[in-house]
Amino acid sequence: MADKGFSDFDKKITRYTANKLNGALVGAEEVVKLLQFKGPSWTGRYSNSWQIQVGNQKSTGTRRPGNPKPVKAPKMNVRSIKEGKISKDEIRIQIRNLAESKEYAQDEKLGRFRRGKVSGKGGIKDIGKEPRTSSGKAKFEERSAGRGGLTKRGDIGGGDPQYLSSRTAPLDWFKTFTKAGTLDQTIKLELGKAVKKGKRRFLK
């Protein structure tokens, strides 16, 4: 049997609540823009793989190469709020990246980063010597030495001086970014006033 108090609260969630929540979600969209601006961009696939989840609803970037495209937060209505809230009067907002390369892009995993034409299991792949996106080109940084073997994406130089190495975002950019806040927060649903500040505010 459903808890009577919980059901009574559900009845108080109205279109007003949805409008206020949707207004607050602009903050999540701005966080994604910042992540796209601060993070690396070579083909653009990583930049376009951010996802915003509110309760059970999700909205995702194009997940395709190209310049970063804005990601709109899910449009919440009364039903989706009721179904997605994590407690009587709270709903969770999460921001994550879905790219297969995210651990490398976020300097969380060591790898071998090459440029130009690279041979692999699928044949020869042309990675290119410069970023393919205008966003990446604007942040392009090059060193007159190769990499020292297995490295983090942002750790350039220190290797063979016959080669070049480059990056489009500083080393540990993601760690620095998330240190100022969180990509996972809880918002208090408001029934009669503007949405209150969540338990954790984005980047505050």
**What is the band of 201 on the pLDDT scale with cuts at 50, 70, 90?**
very low
Q: What is the pLDDT of residue 186?
A: 86
Element (H, E) at 26: helix 26-38
**Closest CA relative to residue 198, chosen from 71, 58, 24, 82:** 24
Mean pLDDT across the chain: 87
DSSP 87: B
Residue with tokens 């130089």: 157
Q: What is the pLDDT of residue 185?
A: 85
* CA-to-CA separations, 156 to 37, 90, 137, 186, in angstroms, rounded: 20, 44, 16, 38
pLDDT, tens digit, for every residue of 35-62? 999 999 999 999 999 999 999 999 999 9
Q: For the whole model, what pTM was predicted?
A: 0.86
CA–CA separation, 61 vs 50, rounded Å? 6
Residue 197: pLDDT above 60? Answer: no
CA–CA separation, 181 vs 27, rounded Å? 13
**Residue 128 CA, distance from chain mean position:** 25
pLDDT, tens digit, for every residue of 125-150? 888 889 999 999 999 999 999 998 89
**What is the band of 192 on the pLDDT scale with cuts at 50, 70, 90?**
low
Q: What is the pLDDT of residue 6?
A: 46
Q: What is the pLDDT of residue 123?
A: 78
Q: How are the residues of the chain apportioned to helix, strand and coil, as percentages rounded to the nearest 5?
A: 25, 20, 50
Average pLDDT value for residue range 2-21: 74
Give the distance between the most distant pair of CA atoms in the chain: 73
10 in Cβ contact with 81 (< 8 Å): no
**What is the band of 200 on the pLDDT scale with cuts at 50, 70, 90?**
very low
pLDDT, tens digit, for every residue of 60-71? 999 999 999 999
Average pLDDT value for residue range 1-21: 72
CA–CA separation, 147 vs 54, rounded Å? 40
CA–CA separation, 182 vs 180, rounded Å? 7
**What is the band of 112 on the pLDDT scale with cuts at 50, 70, 90?**
very high
Which residues make Cβ contacts (< 8 Å) with residue 162, sequence separation at least 6? 146
